């Protein structure tokens, strides 16, 4: 009798385990680690030799490293809009770099990447930089729960800062409520005029730890001039050194609490975006100045997340995707010595341009996929856009691909390295638009400046059409548009047809 009971118990346990394993296989956890302004050449598995990123490299060794994957834009807000909606940012007005008091720009009635996971019973979270606006039209009251935000577009849990680490308000919000607020010191934000008595960078430059050249002249917080004014909320203001460790802590907690259920975590870090003020134990570590130190901090964060997954025994059931929201920039207004201390490091690798640029340095970014189903140690040259994640995840979960995610393509087998076929073509976005198809890159004529007056980046603008053969000229040095009018015409037609599609189709 005892033997029979034992056998039944063992069988039951085995069956339960198999069911759990099958469930986990069909619904792996997904963590998207999204760096801010990390360039194609900033990671050692992408060729960096002056700094080492062992934890990001480990992801590449365990999974698929993409050489032709792209953020949807060369700046933050448009890339993130597209990542979450599956729609090119230039289809929708108002998707440019947002101020910290902007309203939410993701429609609440349309499909989003986290909503795809919610439909499949996942718990979803965003932790980190948001930069997609909060609230509706009109003034926001930062001292109460903000009515529209990440929790209204598919995230069950959110722990964010509103815009960028260089924009007010410099506070964290948990589920759309500023945390650590003292009711006796209410928070106000203003992007038009000075409010309150805090010193500003314009008036008190002697108080600054890092000087900025053009913007960042408003309220000083922790010795750094920010874009935008703020008043009150002193207790709630973050300490810059604590931003990444705070996001890491909150992410680990979310992972731990949801280790048993499938979860999707959008872990949206702000390294190495300026101002680069990493935790003290990273200061001076890279030998390349604050930007290099911030990249080491980013790499450490990746390692800590992976360690947590192993500790919980769920690393084999978790897909980890690593990428960046746009290309690299050295001096993004704050004079932090990043150029002088470069020591031969090439943030964009062999690509031309960087953040803000329609050249490849603007949107071709590190992109790694590891986890269940992914080939190990593979390098893929498939053409991938970050907006393809939405349709690909729907495909993985057996859902139909939402029609309104008009630009998102289901490419799950390419993402897992099982197929070499990615998109047929991709539109890149900076000031102007370009088309990538096969070996060709076409940049539409643009009257914009050749260089950014703020960052010195080559923007890729030219009054006439540009055509590059990336198979032999990845650095976009030889414009051969005049030699190949038929290719120019073909790619112009693609661009025209793409422009005719709309978000609501
Ligand atoms: C620019 C800022 C830059 C950075 C960027 C947004 C100036 C001169 N430049 O306007 O410092 O904040 O906006 O970066 O103020 S992003 O990665 O969020 O797109
Ligand atoms: Ca960015």
- Classified by CATH at the fold level, domain 427-500 comes out as Arylsulfatase, C-terminal domain (3.30.1120)
pLDDT of residue 12: 44
In this predicted model, what pLDDT tens digit does every residue of 208-264 receive, in sequence order?
A: 999 999 999 999 999 999 999 999 999 999 999 999 999 999 999 999 999 999 999
- Give the model's pLDDT for residue 433: 98
Over the chain, what is the mean pLDDT? 94
Q: What per-residue confidence (pLDDT) applies to 25?
A: 53
Q: How far is the CA of 196 from the centre of ligand 1 (A)?
A: 24
Q: Which of the pair, 503 or 315, is modelled with greater confidence?
A: 315
pLDDT digit string (tens) for 458-482?
999 999 999 999 999 999 999 999 9
Residue of 133, 160, 333 with the most ligand 1 atoms within 8 Å of its CB, for mutation = 333
pLDDT of residue 240: 98
pLDDT higher than threshold 50 for residue 399: yes
Pocket of ligand 1 (CB under 6 A): 36-37, 75-76, 97, 131, 164, 166, 214-216, 227, 273-274, 326, 332-333, 454
Order of strands, edge to edge, in the sheet holding 466-469?
Answer: 425-429, 433-437, 440-443, 466-469
For 419-471, the pLDDT digits (tens) are: 999 999 999 999 899 999 999 999 999 999 999 999 989 999 999 999 999 99
By most ligand atoms within 8 Å of CB, the mutation choice from 73, 102, 133, 227 for ligand 1 is 227
Split at pLDDT 50, 70, 90, the class of 339 is: very high
Ligand 1: atom nearest CA of 131 is 18
* Cβ-contact 334, 274 below 8 angstroms: yes
Distance (angstroms) between ligand 1 centre and the Cα of 161 equals 15
Ligand 1 atom with the smallest distance to the CA of 334 is 11
What confidence score (pLDDT) does residue 26 get? 77
pLDDT tens readout for residues 18-49? 334 444 457 999 999 999 999 999 999 999 99
What is the C-alpha to C-alpha distance for residues 62 and 376, in angstroms, rounded to an integer?
5
Kindly list the protein residues that place their beta carbon closer than 5 angstroms to ligand 2, a single-atom ion.
36-37, 76, 325-326
Interval 284-336: pLDDT, tens = 999 999 999 999 999 999 999 999 999 999 999 999 999 999 999 999 999 99
Tell me the pairing of strands 123-129 and 157-161. parallel
Do 157 and 254 form a contact (C-beta atoms < 8 A)?
yes
Strand order from edge to edge, sheet including 157-161: 177-178, 173-174, 157-161, 123-129, 263-268, 29-35, 318-324, 367-370, 64-66, 378-380
Give me ligand 2 centre to Cα 483, in Å.
36
Same fold, 24-182+237-420 and 427-500: no
Domain boundaries defined on the chain? 24-182+237-420, 188-231, 427-500
Give me the pLDDT at residue 6, please.
Answer: 46
- Nearest Cα to Cα of residue 162 among 259, 227, 84: 227
Fold annotation for 24-182+237-420: Alkaline Phosphatase, subunit A (3.40.720)
Residue nearest to ligand 1 atom 13, measured at CA: 97
Cβ(302)–Cβ(271) under 8 Å?
Answer: no
């Amino acid at each position: 009798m005892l033997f029979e009971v034992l056998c039944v118990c063992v069988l039951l346990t085995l069956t339960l385990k198999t069911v759990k394993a099958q469930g986990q296989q069909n619904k792996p956890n997904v963590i998207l680690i999204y760096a801010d302004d990390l360039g194609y050449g900033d990671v050692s598995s992408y060729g960096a030799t002056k700094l080492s990123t062992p934890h990001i490299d480990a992801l590449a060794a365990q999974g698929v490293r993409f050489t032709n994957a792209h953020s949807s834009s060369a700046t933050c807000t448009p890339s993130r809009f597209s990542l979450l909606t599956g729609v090119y940012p230039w289809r929708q007005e108002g998707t440019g770099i947002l101020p910290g008091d902007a309203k939410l720009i993701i429609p609440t009635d349309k499909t989003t990447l986290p909503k795809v996971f919610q439909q499949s019973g996942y718990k979803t979270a965003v932790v980190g930089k948001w930069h997609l606006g909060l609230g509706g039209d009109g003034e926001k009251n930062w001292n109460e729960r903000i009515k529209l935000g990440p929790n209204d577009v598919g995230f069950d849990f959110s722990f964010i800062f509103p815009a960028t680490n260089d924009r007010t308000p410099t506070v964290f919000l948990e589920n759309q409520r500023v945390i650590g607020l003292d009711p006796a010191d209410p928070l106000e934000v203003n992007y038009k005029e000075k409010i309150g008595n805090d010193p500003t960078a314009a008036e008190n430059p002697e108080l600054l730890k890092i000087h900025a050249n053009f913007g960042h002249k408003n309220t000083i917080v922790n010795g750094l001039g920010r874009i935008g004014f703020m008043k009150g909320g002193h207790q709630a203001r973050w300490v810059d050194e604590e931003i990444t460790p705070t996001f890491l802590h909150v992410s680990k907690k979310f992972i731990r609490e949801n280790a048993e259920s499938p979860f999707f975590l959008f872990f949206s870090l702000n390294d190495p975006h300026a101002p680069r003020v990493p935790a003290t134990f990273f200061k001076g570590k890279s030998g390349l100045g604050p930007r290099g130190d911030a990249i080491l901090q980013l790499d450490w964060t990746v390692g800590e997340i992976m360690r947590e997954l192993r500790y919980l025994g769920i690393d084999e059931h978790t897909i980890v995707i690593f990428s960046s929201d746009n290309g690299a920039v050295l001096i993004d207004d704050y004079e932090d010595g990043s150029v002088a201390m470069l020591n031969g490091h090439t943030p964009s690798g062999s690509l031309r341009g960087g953040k803000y640029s329609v050249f490849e340095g603007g949107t071709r970014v590190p992109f790694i996929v590891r986890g269940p189903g992914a080939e190990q140690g593979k390098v893929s040259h498939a053409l991938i856009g970050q907006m393809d994640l939405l349709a690909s995840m729907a495909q993985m979960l057996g859902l139909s691909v939402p029609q309104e995610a008009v630009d998102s393509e289901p490419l799950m087998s390419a993402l897992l390295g099982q197929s070499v076929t990615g998109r047929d073509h991709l539109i890149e976005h900076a000031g102007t638009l370009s088309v990538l198809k096969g070996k060709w890159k076409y940049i539409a004529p643009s009257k914009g400046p050749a260089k950014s007056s703020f960052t010195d980046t080559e923007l890729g603008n030219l009054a006439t059409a540009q055509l590059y053969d990336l198979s032999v000229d990845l650095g976009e040095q030889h414009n051969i548009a005049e030699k190949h009018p038929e290719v120019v015409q073909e790619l112009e037609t693609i661009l025209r047809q793409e422009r005719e599609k709309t978000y609501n189709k």
